[in-house]
C-alpha cells in the first residue's frame, strides 16, 4: 500500500464511514509478504490478489452475512473474483486492475477464465479497465493525446459473451464525466467502470461517480434493491493510495 501509514488509516476510515456491503480496491501496492496490512474487519472479510513485488494489487472486502467465498485470482495482482449470497441469490464479484500494455491478451485470458463461470446469472465486474468504451463520450477531446485509448476487441468479446452492460453509461447515455484526470496530458477519461449482467439492471437503484477523496481516481458506487424494503450497496475505488457508438448502444432504464 503506497503512502505513509497515516494515509492508510485515512483511506480505511473513509470506507468505514460509508458502511458498504462490498468494497473493491485496486492498485493497493502491497506484496504477498505484507498482505496483513490490508486486513480490516470493519470493512468485512478480505480477499486479496497481490504480486510478489510492491506493484499492482486488488482487494475485495465483503460483509460476513453475505457468506463470501473465494473463486479465482491471478498471480500478478490484477484479477480477483469472489462469490457472495444474499436474498437467495448468488453473485460473482470481479475486481479488475488492467495493464497499460498487453490489454488485448489480458482480456482474452480473463474471458477464458470466465467461461468456467457461465452458471452465474448475477455478475458485477468493476475496476480500472485502463481504456474507454467510447473515445467520443468517455474522454476529453485533447489534441495533445496521441493514443486512441479505446478498450480492445477482446474486452467487448468478453462483455458480449457474458451479457454485461456498462451500467453507468446505461443510466447516463449522454453523460460526459471522467474518473481519472491526467496532469501530464491535462485530460480526463472514464477508465474506471462497473459492468453488470443485463438482468441486474432493473434491480440497480443508483449508480454514481463519487467526488475524489483519498485517491487520484474517482470512486464509483452502485446500490442494488433486491427486496421491496431493502437495498444493497457496493463501492469500487481505484488506486487506493495513490462516441456516438455508445449512445446508440445505451438503453435508458
Mean pLDDT (the chain, rounded): 85
Question: Looking up cell 439492471, which residue turns up?
Answer: 201
Question: Which residues are annotated as part of the binding site?
Answer: 27, 128, 130, 216-217
Q: For residue 235, what pLDDT is reported?
A: 58
11, 51, 97, 138: the active-site residue: 97
Query: What single-letter DSSP state applies at residue 60?
Result: E
Q: Tens digits of per-residue pLDDT, 132-187?
A: 999 999 998 764 555 678 999 999 999 999 999 999 999 999 999 999 988 777 88
- pLDDT confidence of 1, banded at 50, 70, 90? very low
CB 133 within 8 A of CB 166: yes
Give which of 45, 56, 42 is closest to 13, Cα–Cα.
42
Asked about 128 being catalytic, the answer comes back as yes
Q: For residue 130, what pLDDT is reported?
A: 95
Q: For residue 230, what pLDDT is reported?
A: 55
Query: What single-letter DSSP state applies at residue 33?
Result: G
Asked about 185 being catalytic, the answer comes back as no
CB 122 within 8 A of CB 232: no
Work out the percent of the chain whose per-residue pLDDT is above 90.
Answer: 64
Q: For residue 145, what pLDDT is reported?
A: 52
Strands (E), the chain: 22-26, 45-49, 58-62, 69-73, 79-86, 89-97, 123-128, 164-166, 180-182, 187-189, 192-197, 204-209, 220-224, 232-237
CB 146 within 8 A of CB 110: no
> Would you tell me how many other CB atoms lie within 10 Å of the CB of residue 130?
22
Question: Averaged over 95-102, what is the pLDDT?
Answer: 96
Question: Averaged over 21-39, what is the pLDDT?
Answer: 89
Cα–Cα distance list, 122 to 153, 183, 188 (Å) = 23, 37, 31
Q: For residue 125, what pLDDT is reported?
A: 98
11, 51, 61, 217: the active-site residue: 217
Q: Tens digits of per-residue pLDDT, 207-226?
A: 999 987 767 789 999 999 87
- For the 5-249 domain, the top CATH level (class) is alpha beta
Strands (E), 75-121: 79-86, 89-97
Q: Looking at 65-74, 85-94, 218-227, which range is the least confident one?
A: 218-227
Cα–Cα distance list, 224 to 21, 89, 172, 220 (Å) = 11, 13, 17, 13
- pLDDT confidence of 47, banded at 50, 70, 90? very high
Q: Where are the domains of the chain?
A: 5-249
Asked about 217 being catalytic, the answer comes back as yes
pLDDT of 112 > 50? The answer is yes
Of 52 and 104, which is predicted with more confidence?
Answer: 104
128, 138, 192, 238: the active-site residue: 128
CB 163 within 8 A of CB 201: no
Strands (E), 136-185: 164-166, 180-182
Q: For residue 245, what pLDDT is reported?
A: 40
Question: Which residues are annotated as part of the binding site for Mg(2+)?
Answer: 27, 128, 130, 216-217
Question: Averaged over 14-32, what is the pLDDT?
Answer: 88
Q: Which three cell numbers stand for residue 83?
A: 462469490
Question: Averaged over 92-120, what is the pLDDT?
Answer: 97
C-alpha dihedral (51, 57, 62, 64), degrees to nearest 10:
30
Amino acid at each position: 500500500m503506497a503512502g505513509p501509514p497515516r494515509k492508510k488509516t485515512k483511506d480505511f476510515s473513509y470506507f468505514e464511514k460509508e458502511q458498504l456491503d462490498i468494497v473493491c480496491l485496486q492498485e493497493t501496492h502491497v506484496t504477498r509478504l505484507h498482505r496483513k496490512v490490508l486486513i480490516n474487519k470493519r470493512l468485512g472479510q478480505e480477499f486479496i490478489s497481490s504480486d510478489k513485488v510492491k506493484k499492482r494489487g486488488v482487494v475485495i472486502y465483503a460483509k460476513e452475512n453475505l457468506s463470501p467465498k473465494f473463486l479465482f485470482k491471478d498471480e500478478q495482482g490484477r484479477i480477483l473474483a469472489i462469490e457472495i449470497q444474499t436474498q437467495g441469490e448468488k453473485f460473482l464479484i470481479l475486481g479488475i486492475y488492467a495493464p497499460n500494455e498487453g490489454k488485448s491478451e489480458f482480456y482474452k485470458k480473463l474471458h477464458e477464465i470466465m467461461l468456467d463461470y457461465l452458471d452465474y446469472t448475477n455478475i458485477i465486474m468493476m475496476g480500472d479497465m485502463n481504456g474507454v468504451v467510447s473515445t467520443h463520450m468517455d474522454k476529453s477531446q485533447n489534441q495533445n493525446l496521441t493514443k486512441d485509448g479505446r478498450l480492445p476487441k477482446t474486452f467487448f468479446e468478453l462483455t458480449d459473451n457474458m451479457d454485461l452492460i456498462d451500467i453507468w453509461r446505461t443510466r447516463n447515455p449522454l453523460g460526459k464525466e471522467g474518473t481519472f484526470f491526467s496532469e501530464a496530458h491535462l485530460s480526463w477519461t472514464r477508465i474506471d467502470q462497473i459492468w453488470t449482467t443485463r438482468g441486474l439492471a432493473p434491480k440497480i437503484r443508483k449508480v454514481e461517480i463519487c467526488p475524489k477523496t483519498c485517491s487520484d481516481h474517482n470512486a464509483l458506487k452502485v446500490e442494488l434493491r433486491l427486496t421491496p424494503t431493502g437495498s444493497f450497496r457496493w463501492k469500487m475505488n481505484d488506486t487506493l493510495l495513490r462516441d456516438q457508438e455508445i449512445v446508440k448502444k445505451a438503453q435508458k432504464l
